[in-house]
Structure 1
């Protein structure tokens, strides 16, 4: 089939017909890399955010360090980590982890600080321990704010994973790079770029709904 005589839309459809399974496998790989990095960040950042909400002097230092990480360009971070970790998926997962720390820490810290002090006083008056107040009052009241941080981190992670193809991690970025190296690669670039954008939009929408359902204000308004 002569691809040169096709318009862009026809080339795009033809590429998907011929390489649909490959695009899907890279889509899944891309999503899993993003998820792994954000989940690791959540495991570290949520407890850290809770800790600094109790220790105000420590909060400034932790947030400053996380802010410094954000100032490093993503491609530069990949290059720095590649020196120690080599090529492959691990470099991208660690990069996603580092860039996900700040939004999750800040939202956890903000959510914990916004908990109504009167509710904590009531729990204390009922004889609850500090751990019981944390699990039964503070976390339920701040979980929607924490989810917003995870939501932001995952959307950013999808973009970071796209450039991970430069270090051999695969994903949809690999398709985009192939398109830039092809003579008539516009349709190939679209085959990588559109699923990436779609993944970010759908992820943001789903996590937005989860965030709304976890919002105590949203529950009481029903």
Structure 2
């Protein structure tokens, strides 16, 4: 399996592709009808299109590909306020990779013990659709700025999502039944088939 700890959130800004597209528009405006020239333009466009090259590589891969994304934990991290429709659209883009099974115990005081996000920053839809899964690589640091732990689950909307590392292992093991177990204090552990990964709180 192949895991990317990077997010392909925007189209590649390719000057060569822009030049080819501009040339093609000029040819069209001059009404030049030359099949060989048209074939040359199409071939050049395909070779210069890095997004298409990545998409084709994802589709051709014989190994499962897991793409990374990250969560904005608050509005300040985004830099502007997202409306509900935009947040819902972003969550929908990662919904296929949520924990499929959740075994939970309700906290006595009704307060959620989970780490809640503001909104995900996912991949372009064409890449997400071609990947086997997408997992977050959101880093949570301690008050002193050091990173000592990784959350095995972050809540986005009403769903619970696993990190990139868990999904990479899950695909490597052949995608056994995947579940997260929670209790009143947070995540108790992750279950992959007969394997259990317990947390240290």
Give the TM-score range, shorter chain: under 0.3
TM-score, normalised by the number of residues in structure 1: 0.22
TM-score by length of structure 2 reads 0.23
Identify, as 1 or 2, the structure richer in strand. Answer: 2
